[in-house]
Amino acid sequence: MEPFLGKYAHVIYTALRIVAGVMFMQHGVRFLFGGLGGTPPDGGAAPFPSEQFFAGLIELFGGLLIASGFKASWVAFLASGEMAVAYWWKAAPQGFFPIENRGELAVLYCFSFLYIASRGSGKYSLDALFRRPESPG
């Protein structure tokens, strides 16, 4: 598949970055505004101050920056760390395997964002749009 899909690597990476960022933003909306089902148990917004409220800030604004490709490397690194903490703090005590402790989403986000942090905003991003052209010579 690489000879065929490799030609579209920049576009596929951009799609990954945008989809991951938008999906992450939805968690922030849930925590901060009680939208999209809200937070358990009552379905409302997370109270201020709480770890869920601050996680919601990272998820909403971090997801927006990742999706748009603005300083995505730094923001994705922060988001990756948040997901690692969420996994070890909330999911891991419930069981060994992520599928059994319901931590598979945190693990997937953690490593997806770690990849984005290593790769940066990419060719199709706000960072690329605002980058100064290099002067010749």
CA quadruple 88, 91, 95, 99: dihedral sign = negative
Tens of pLDDT, residue by residue over 104-127, are 999 999 999 999 999 999 898 989
For the chain, how many structural domains are there in total? 1
- From residue 137, alpha-carbon distances to 53, 105, 131, 132, 134 in Å are 50, 47, 18, 15, 9
CB 102 within 8 A of CB 94: yes
pLDDT at 1: 81
CB 65 within 8 A of CB 99: no
Asked whether residue 137 carries a pLDDT value surpassing 70, the answer given is: no
pTM strictly above 0.85: yes
- Would you call 44 helix, strand, or coil by DSSP? strand
Does 8 fall in a domain? Answer: no
Does 55 fall in a domain? Answer: yes
Does 131 fall in a domain? Answer: no
Does 133 fall in a domain? Answer: no
Over the chain, what is the mean pLDDT?
90
Range of the domain at 66: 13-122
Mean pLDDT of 19-34: 93
